[in-house]
Structure 1
């Protein structure tokens, strides 16, 4: 297992790490908001999860008698019974160690930090890791979360227009509810140079022109800011640089086209705005840890 690698997506780590021995199903968001979900049948294990820029929400759906899990997220070992409905959050950018005994079925939701910031806008906490730490200290129950996560999982299966709207709304509700459960206090709105209406303009521009070359100057012009001001404001509000975010958007569209399995790699590269097939393969591997061909084969296997 490559513990030193910088993983971008928890799902890609999950497929390529020792977790791959467990039966699992993966689904991506069909909506505008990026997230990923996994169902997995786990058994006894003692693994280390890497730091990723995603918040992971774990919901046990079923568990064998006397099933327990212990975890260390950098603040000492904690343990609890893995009872159905008793949830746990893995905050973003935080390495964790795990010891699990017994069998259980989990539903996992991974939410990129950029998605959390896109949902919350000016209300987004400056430090997402610290914000969600209270939900990682012990397992907890909440009557609202399990049915919402289950409905979110169901909504990723079909991809109809109404499902896309449903999952975006459900994820927005879920993130806001997690923030409340974590005890995040209301605070005065801070002044920002990249408010939601500007971000929305940027997102819509990128979605419409993703097949073309897009540089930071073009994005700054859409936002109505200088390049330097835009780059700083974008990173503050979205949580990553414009270039890295843009490469992630191109890769997400490439994943959609790869799943459709209707175009050769060269045409997918062009449709997603990569300068060449080799550039496409390089960026795709940086994001997922796999080549486009291998990733596509793994997805078909799921």
Structure 2
């Protein structure tokens, strides 16, 4: 099936184009955005779009004789769909698919921006090309399967430790995929923002999260000029200081919403937002949901 629409998220394409197949979706509750899907698949022939996400597909169960064939523009690759053998789809590559047989799959989609957050300046210049070696055939890997299963199980949790666990597991998974693809680069000689400077910034923010914190203050805490700090922070963390600060405020708000009996206005004040409307706007930008919807979904899970 051809689908000419431009997609930025693989999950949206799944919902629209694979709607005939039962599926369940989950978003990451942690600092590193990613998405997961479970789906019961049958025979189909689709053309998947190029999206800025790496996709890892893991069959959980499959009928005898299952097979899939895929083409990234360099010719068809064919393999059996065996439980535990993963297939990696590099970002920014469209693909054609011929799938035969019934199976249940677990899918992980990792935005390229998330890979940049994890790898920092060590990220390959062309991530889609760097991961192509993993797309020639399915992989039997003793590490990937348990990590993906643990990620899926932890996505339903609302505790702070669940968010820490999924972030840590994703860092391990991405690092492992980069190594398996053979695109590990030498560590840069220059560290843009040394750990001790970054630690001072984090500690200051945690102690003053309820206050107004600006880029000048953070630069002073780090002992750098505003220009140097802004550039170094983005190079090291993968996002601007302001966006990182808004994410941290949101994470703190999520903790309070989960563990404390407070109204949204009080939570907004304690987390340093300008007001409840500002809190709601930023919360939706970070999580994709309003605070009320996020809380209700966590409560149901």
Q: State TM-score, norm by structure 2.
A: 0.72
Structure index of larger Rg: 2
Asked if structure 1 preserves the Cα contact closer than 8 Å seen for 2:211 and 2:272, the reply is yes
1:122-133 alignment, distance < 5 Å: 123-133=122-132
| Distance (Å, rounded) in 1 between the aligned partners of 2:256 and 2:17 | 28
Q: Write the deviation string for residues 100-154 of structure 1: whole angstroms up to 9, x where unpaired.
A: 5544323334455565455545644444444333223432222232133334444
The whole-number CA distance in structure 2 between the counterparts of 1:281 and 1:27 is 18
Partner of 1:87: 86
Change (3 A) 1:162 1:285: closer
Aligned residues of 2:26 and 2:155 also touching (Cα < 8 A): no
Displacement of 1:275 in angstroms is 1.9
Equivalent residue number for residue 51 of structure 2: 51
Distance 1:282 1:180, change over 3 A: same
Gaps of 5+ in 2: none
Q: Distance in 1 between matches of 2:58 and 2:285?
A: 29
Distance across 2 between alignment mates of 1:165 and 1:291:
22
The alignment status of 1:145 with 2:144, answered yes or no, reads yes
Rounded to whole Å, the distance in 1 between the matches of 2:177 and 2:18 is 26
Mapped to 1, the partners of 2:290 and 2:54 lie a distance apart of: 25
Task: Give the match for residue 212 of structure 2.
Answer: 213
TM-score, structure 1 as length reference: 0.72
Structure 2 CA distance for partners of 1:136 and 1:230, relative to 1, 3 Å = farther
- How does 1:1-302 map onto structure 2 within 5 Å? 13=12, 17=16, 22-24=22-24, 26=26, 28=28, 34=32, 36=34, 38-44=36-42, 46=46, 48=48, 51-52=51-52, 55-69=54-68, 80-92=79-91, 94=92, 96=94, 99=97, 100-111=99-110, 116-117=115-116, 119-120=118-119, 123-154=122-153, 170-187=169-186, 189-255=188-254, 262-298=261-297
Tell me the SS of whatever aligns to 1:143. coil
Taking the aligned partners of 1:90 and 1:16, their CA distance within structure 2 comes to: 18
Structure 1 residues 223 and 90: alpha-carbon distance in aligned structure 2, compared to 1, 3 A threshold: farther
Greater shift, 257-266 or 35-44, is seen at 257-266
For residue 214 of structure 1, give the secondary structure of its aligned residue in structure 2.
coil
Shift of 1:181: 0.3
Residues 191 and 24 from structure 1, CA distance in 2 versus in 1: closer, same or farther, beyond 3 angstroms?
same
Matched residue SS, 2:85 = coil
Change (3 A) 1:125 1:195: farther
Deviations 1:138-193 (A, max 9, x none): 32222232133334444556677877776565444333322210102442533132
* Counterparts of 1:182 and 1:280, CA distance in 2: 41
Cα pair 1:91 1:129 within 8 Å, conserved:
yes
Q: 5+ unaligned residues in a row in structure 1: which ranges? A: none
Confirm or deny: 8 A CA contact 1:122 1:192 kept in the other structure. Answer: no
Change (3 A) 1:127 1:267: farther
For the structure 1 residues 296 and 170, does the alpha-carbon distance in structure 2 shift closer, same or farther, using more than 3 Å as the test?
A: closer
| Alpha-carbon distance in structure 2 between the residues aligned to 1:14 and 1:210 | 38
RMSD of aligned alpha carbons: 4.2
Partner SS state of residue 87, structure 1:
strand
CA distance in 2, matches of 1:241, 1:192: 17
- Find the aligned partners of 1:69 and 1:6 in 2 and give their Cα distance: 24
Q: CA deviation at 1:197?
A: 3.5
3-state DSSP of counterpart to 1:84 = coil
Q: Is the 8 A contact 1:35 1:110 kept in 2?
A: no
Aligned residue pairs, count: 295
